[in-house]
Chains A and B, each alone.
Chain A
Amino acid sequence: MNTFLAALSLGASRGATFALVALGLVIVWRGAGIVNFAQMGQAMFSTYIASTLITNGYSYWIAFFAALLSGAVLGALLDIFIMRPLSNKKQSELLSSESMRSAVPVIASLGILGALQALAGIIWAAEERGFPAPAKQEGFTVAGNVLPFTSFDVFVVSIVTVALILTTLFFTKTGIGLAMRATALNQEVAKLSGIRTNRTRTISWAISGAASSLAGLLITPTSNLSPNTLDLVLIVGFTAAVVGGLDSPAGAVLGGVILGMVISFVTFYDTPEDVFLAILAVLLLVLIIRPRGILGSKDARRV
């Protein structure tokens, strides 16, 4: 019973962070039609910035918001200087074909990932360092029994819930959020109705950058920080996004929780070594049974 509870609580807290990562991928996919494989590289970079601030004596919360801000700025810069010029090059020979139009941004994002990791290695050295958690990482004690649920888990789940509510409100209640949904639906029509699609694209990169930086801040206390720490998280986040539906924010959350549970239960009841095979199995299962994902819309796979 205790193992079951432990698996459930780890699954919930991991699932919450995977949901954030998946949400970051979904936001850029909707806003720019790109799966951003550099996302967790950006998150790693801003977590390092937070880590540096903390070592220099700043408080956790200053570092926390500095990381979110730098994640957003970095995301916006990457869109403005790399992805936007790329999408304006549709006339070029290599991008003239359907399939390469979706392949080339992926290649560019891999280049960004490599560059960010190398840069982090040069600036902050390769050895792993710890990253603090703002809450205790020991289980609650009730009547002498240590529960497998920590204050940090509570913190993670609640802060992710707040972030998800804020994102939902942003998309449904604000003008810019509506503009982004319109752009996701049909870029040409959105442009014709006066939406500045370039700007909405950049904003989606910025929001995605902030969301994934938040994920980085929440994952590294349990894993340590190094230039490559978050690579595996991207794979999980991608699978979560595909499971839920690449174009559905709600699906991203659902997919994140499913993946969190799968990974946690495989870790507790089988062996951690099987985690990747389990992820692959889930991914292939969804792609075979329901390729658009659980909550994805029908034409999500048109690209």
Chain B
Amino acid sequence: MSNLKVKSIARISLIRTLIFSALILLVGLQFDAYNQAQLAVVLILFIGVLSITLLTGISGQLSLGQGALMAVGGYSTALLMINYKLSLWVAIPLSIISSAIAGLLLGVAAARLRGPYLAGTTLVIALAIPTIANRFMSVFKGDEGLQVDVGYPPQWFSTFFGEPTYEQWQLYVALPFAAVALFFASNILLSRTGRMWRSIRDNESAASLAGVNFARQKIYVFIISSTFAGLSGALYGLRGLVGPSVYPVSLSLLLLTAAVLGGIRSIAGAFIGTVIVVFLPDWIELILGNFELSEQVSNYLPALISSLLLILTVVINPAGVAGVKLHKHK
């Protein structure tokens, strides 16, 4: 694996991406409207979970503040779309610049922090950043938030592919971004950069002896991971609203849960985990639909089960669902 040339790495990643996109389209178009919207959420959060796969799984830096980075992406996109009337296809790539800058700042701070210190600090950041929305009311509109959505497909799209429903259009918007994210993540994991990041995770002293400037690499990790989170947040906001309530701390924890359940070191794991956390409430309802459950129970049951799954995964099978392949990635 370590002798792959740059060209063949790109080819492997491209093939993976194409197969992934084809499968999503094939399966997604069979779904009903509700499940198509759910699948779009899976694609969106998958990008956010990949940001944790890169940051925590590959590089060993635990962040509980990915939700705040998602908010940065969401707000930048919404402000660009509302104030400058840009289309989402222009606004989202531009918003990546601001999430990269946020990642740079976080990385500079985080390069000095380890383990629980980093986790706690990022948790405080996740809580503090959304309050800025209330501080600068005129720009961010406080708790009310900014209203944006994916809008309608352009004319040429409808002429070629027929008029998509709103849910299908959500899926079509999310898919290209998820595919690009998958392509880059796959490239990073297979390449020299990925090996350097793993060396930071596994042994800092050995990594720096081998010539890895780990302070600089840590900052790169944060920048890249932050662009993934920002992209995910931008798309997440396009479901209708960008506001503090859309990016709560629990969103950061949901992404972490997905990453760990699926397998924190692999791309396949990131996808499996995202599918689990997004569809879990539906599956529970499907299984327990026949029982008369009070609202109180059914509201909290998904959170209880995913938390228990998280604990069980960490204690019994830390490698996650996709963990069988763990040794290959080592």
Residues of A whose CB lies within 8 Å of any CB of B are 29, 34-35, 37, 82, 85-86, 89, 92-100, 102-104, 106-108, 110-115, 117-119, 121-122, 125-126, 231-232, 235, 238-239, 242, 246, 273-274, 276-277, 279-280, 283-284, 287-288, 291, 301, 303
Contact with A along B300-330 (1 / 0, CB 8 A): 1101101110110011001100010011001
Contact, CB under 8 Å: B114 / A122: no
Central interface residue in B125, B301, B303, by most chain A CB within 10 Å: B303
A26 to B128, CA, bound (A): 23
B316 to A, closest residue via Cβ: A85
- The minimal Cβ–Cβ distance linking B268 to chain A, given in whole angstroms, is 16
Residues in B whose Cβ lies below 8 Å from that of A100: 60, 201
Let me know if B116 and A235 touch, CB within 8 A: no
User: A114-B253, A276-B131 in contact; A102/B314 too (CB < 8 A)?
Assistant: no
Interface members, chain B 108-136 (any A CB < 8 Å): 109, 112-117, 119-121, 123-125, 127-128, 131-132, 134-135
Which of A86, A99, A107, A238 touches B120 (beta carbons < 8 Å)?
A238
How many Å lie between the Cα of A103 and that of B195 in the bound state? 20
Q: Is the CB of B116 within 8 A of A273?
A: no
A contact residues around B64 at 8 Å (CB): 110
Residue of A nearest to B115 (CB): A102
The contact of B304 among A92, A119, A301, by CB within 8 Å, is A119
Q: How large is the interface on B (under 10, 10 to 19, 20 to 34, 35 or more residues)?
A: 35 or more
* Residues 246-292 of B contacting A (Cβ, < 8 Å): 249, 253, 256-257, 260, 264-265
Q: At the interface, yes or no: B83 with Cβ under 8 Å from chain A?
A: no
A-B contact count (CB 8 A): 172
Known: A35-B120, A103-B115, A303-B116. A118 touches B326 (CB 8 A): no
B297 in the interface, Cβ–Cβ < 8 Å? yes
B59: chain A residues at CB < 8 Å are: 99
Min CB distance, A106 to chain B, in Å? 5
Inter-subunit contact A232/B127 (CB<8 Å):
yes
B120: chain A residues at CB < 8 Å are 35, 37, 235, 238-239, 242
Which chain B residues (29-80) contact chain A, with CB distance < 8 Å?
Answer: 56, 59-62, 64
Interface pair B128/A125, CB less than 8 Å apart: no
Name B223-238 residues within 8 Å CB distance of A: none
State the CA gap A95–B323 with chains docked (Å).
13
Tell yes or no: B144 within 8 A of A by CB.
no
> Which residues on the B side are within 8 Å of A284 (C-beta)?
109, 121
**Contact A279 B310, CB 8 Å, known A99-B61, A100-B201, A102-B114:** no
CB within 8 Å of A: which residues of B?
Answer: 56, 59-62, 64, 109, 112-117, 119-121, 123-125, 127-128, 131-132, 134-135, 200-204, 249, 253, 256-257, 260, 264-265, 296-297, 299-301, 303-304, 306-308, 310-311, 314-315, 318-319, 323, 326-327, 330
> Which of these, B112, B301, B314, contacts A104 with CB under 8 Å?
B314
In the assembled complex, the Cα of A179 lies from the Cα of B197 at a distance in Å of: 39
* Nearest CB of B to A68, in Å: 25
Residues of B within 8 A of A89 (CB): 315, 318
Whether A126 and B299, one on each chain, are in contact in the complex, defined by CB atoms closer than 8 angstroms, is: yes
| Chain B residues closer than 8 Å to A113, beta-carbon distance | 307
Residues of B near A95 (CB, < 8 A) are 318
* A118 with B301, Cβ < 8 A, contacts A93-B327, A273-B134, A287-B113 known: yes
For residue B112, which residues in chain A have a CB less than 8 angstroms away from its CB?
A: 287-288, 291
- Partner among B113, B123, B264, B314 whose Cβ is within 8 Å of the Cβ of A86: B314
Residues of B within 8 A of A85 (CB): 315
* A119 contact set on B, CB distance < 8 A: 300, 304
B125 touching A121, Cβ below 8 Å = no
A85 to B311, CA, bound (A): 11
**When the two chains form their complex, are residues B124 and A117 in contact, meaning their CB atoms are under 8 A apart?**
no
Once the chains bind, are A301 and B202 in contact (CB under 8 Å)?
Answer: no
In the complex formed, the residue of B with least CB distance to A34 is B116
Q: Is B124's CB under 8 angstroms from A110's CB?
A: no
Residues of B near A110 (CB, < 8 A) are 64, 253, 256, 310
Contact status A107-B296, CB under 8 Å: no
Q: How far is the CA of A89 from the CA of B316 in the complex (A)?
A: 9
Q: A114-B253, A114-B303, A273-B134 are in contact. Are A98 and B124 (CB under 8 A)?
A: no
A279 to B319 CA separation, bound complex (whole angstroms)? 35
Q: Verify A93–B62 contact, CB threshold 8 A.
A: no
Are A114 and B310 neighbours in the complex by a CB distance under 8 Å? yes
Which partner residue on chain B sits nearest A228 by CB separation? B250
Given A97-B203, A107-B256, A242-B117, verify A280-B314 contact (CB < 8 Å).
no
Q: A121-B299, A303-B115, A303-B116 are in contact. Are A97 and B131 (CB under 8 A)?
A: no
- B114–A99 contact, CB under 8 A? yes
Best-surrounded residue of B112, B201, B253, B311 (most CB of chain A within 10 A):
B311
Residues of chain A contacted by B201 (CB below 8 angstroms): 97-100
Q: How far is the CA of A108 from the CA of B311 in the complex (A)?
A: 5
Q: Which residue of B lies closest to A114 (CB)?
A: B307
* Given A106-B62, A238-B120, A276-B131, A98 and B311 contact (CB-CB distance below 8 Å): no
Residues of A within 8 A of B264 (CB): 94
A97 and B202 contacting across the interface, CB-CB below 8 Å: yes
When chains A and B are docked, how far (Å) is the Cα of A95 from the Cα of B318?
8
A111 touches B62 (CB 8 A): no
**Chain A min CB distance to B297 (Å):** 5
Q: List 12 A-B contacts (CB under 8 A).
A: A37-B123, A89-B318, A97-B202, A103-B60, A108-B310, A110-B253, A110-B310, A118-B307, A231-B249, A235-B123, A246-B117, A301-B117
| Residues of chain A with a CB closer than 8 A to B202's CB | 96-99
What is the bound-complex CA distance between A232 and B249, given in angstroms?
11
Nearest Cβ on chain A to B86's Cβ, whole angstroms: 30
- Shortest Cβ distance from residue B263 to the other chain A in the assembled complex, whole angstroms: 9
